[in-house]
Amino acid sequence: MKKLFVLLGCLFLLSGCFNHRELNDLAICSGLGVSYSENKYTLTLQVVNTSAFDAKSSNNNASFSVYTEEGKTIFEAINKISKELSKEITLTQLKVIIIDDSAILDNLGSLVDFLMNDLEVSLNVPVVTSLKSNPKDVLSVITPNNEINASYISSLIEVNNSKFGNAYPIELSSFFVDYLTDYNNIMLTNVELKESSDIEDNNDVLKNTDNASTLYIDNPIVFNNETVYKLNLDESIVLNTIENNINDNSLTFDCNGGNFSIMVLNSKFGFSKFENNNIYLNGNLKGTVNEYNCSWDLDDDQTLVKLENVIKNSFYDMIDNAFNKSKELKLDFLEIGKFIYNNYTDEYKKIKDVNISLVDFNIVNKISVDLTKQGNLRGDINE
């Protein structure tokens, strides 16, 4: 409870201005990366090159530079970078925070304390991880249009969340809540690197950056104590469906002799009740069929009903598979515990550890689907 009061205090004290400090005296950071090893933090700061945006400047440098230092504390590492730059570090303009799995599993408390005590950091900053890459490598990638890398990552998260269902957007405020409450699973979007031969070689314009790779959003990562698990695509879709994050997503399903795709127009899902170790999940999905390659005749009024049943059964299977996987791993990545914690406080106190108690739970699904056709799909055209 004491930690929650600290968090509430941050809400009132945060400000996003530079006050009266001179811009030339500041190192404006757009990205922050943290990893932890051998009792030391490795801190990476992506610093905006303000001269790159000055139309009057002849400086053709890229939009940012990346600096990395080690320290026994995060403050020590920041002070080393500040000394190197001979500038004061400011985090008011952060666009992304990347936390390595080592920092989450080994010493997350100190990092949370630092972020909560730095009143410059906005609570709206996206927090992500990178399972295969380190934060420095991710923050060092040159984007195709020389956009500030951290801003590009934020855009990737937004697009992948709205179109593909494999991102899981978490802002700093939600990250604090997940850490501070008794329910302590941490779920983060996973930003990774892939090699690309299509990016022009321009190492000469960017200090300490990497342009041999490009960025993409992989499936979310869930952390609990020593456990790290990457969700598969179906599990990611189930999670985002429960969180109502799949509107405008395009989903593809198999049917007899082919497949069809829908655009999700409106999705309302959520846990509704917890009783006798049964967790009830209700949902309604509205969408349009925008591509059709099945053998059923779309002119038949019953065809849409068949497609709706295909979608319902597919979701039942995906939800059951995801739930059984979470029970197998004893890892509540569907965030059932969060629902119980928020709505059934007395029951939650009896459970003690939802991750372990999952094996005794059952999930009861009730899903409805409403489809319409879009345009002149096959079956609408008179031949």
Length of the chain counted residue by residue: 383
3-state secondary structure of 362: strand
Residues forming a β-bridge with 27: 89
Residues with pLDDT less than 70, the chain: 1-24, 51-62, 146, 182-184, 195-213, 375-383
Cβ–Cβ < 8 Å for 125, 155 = no
User: Are 183 and 238 part of one and the same domain?
Assistant: no
Question: What does the pLDDT read at residue 83?
Answer: 92
Last residue of a domain, one of 230, 252, 279: 230
What is 216-279 written as a DSSP string?
Answer: EEEEEEEEETTEEEE--HHHHHHHHHHTT--TT-EEEEEETTEEEEEEEEEEEEEEEEEETTEE
Total count of domains within the chain: 2
Q: Which amino acid is at 370?
A: D
CA distance 359 to 336: 12
Question: What does the pLDDT read at residue 195?
Answer: 63
On whether residue 382 sits in a domain, the answer given is: no
On whether residue 27 sits in a domain, the answer given is: yes
User: Are 28 and 44 part of one and the same domain?
Assistant: yes
Last residue of a domain, one of 192, 211, 230: 230
pLDDT in tens, 213-264: 688 899 999 988 778 899 999 999 999 999 888 888 889 999 987 999 999 9
User: Are 162 and 276 part of one and the same domain?
Assistant: no
On whether residue 102 sits in a domain, the answer given is: yes
Question: What does the pLDDT read at residue 320?
Answer: 96
User: Are 121 and 207 part of one and the same domain?
Assistant: yes
CA distance 331 to 278: 17
User: Are 162 and 244 part of one and the same domain?
Assistant: no
User: Are 241 and 119 part of one and the same domain?
Assistant: no
On whether residue 80 sits in a domain, the answer given is: yes
Q: Which two tokens stand for residue 287?
A: 């969408």
On whether residue 161 sits in a domain, the answer given is: yes
User: Are 220 and 78 part of one and the same domain?
Assistant: yes
User: Are 294 and 206 part of one and the same domain?
Assistant: no
On whether residue 380 sits in a domain, the answer given is: no
Question: What does the pLDDT read at residue 207?
Answer: 41
Question: What does the pLDDT read at residue 183?
Answer: 62
User: Are 256 and 166 part of one and the same domain?
Assistant: no
Question: What does the pLDDT read at residue 269?
Answer: 95
CA distance 352 to 347: 9
**Which residues lie below 8 Å from residue 229, measured CB to CB, with a gap of 6+?**
221, 222, 329, 331, 333
Cβ–Cβ < 8 Å for 214, 138 = no
CA distance 64 to 62: 6
User: Are 93 and 178 part of one and the same domain?
Assistant: yes
CA distance 146 to 64: 9
**Residue 302 belongs to what domain range?**
234-373
Cβ–Cβ < 8 Å for 65, 48 = no
On whether residue 28 sits in a domain, the answer given is: yes
On whether residue 8 sits in a domain, the answer given is: yes
Residue with tokens 């927090």: 127
CATH code of residue 348: 3.30.300.210
Question: What does the pLDDT read at residue 212?
Answer: 45
Last residue of a domain, one of 230, 265, 289: 230
User: Are 300 and 335 part of one and the same domain?
Assistant: yes
CA distance 63 to 211: 13
User: Are 49 and 69 part of one and the same domain?
Assistant: yes
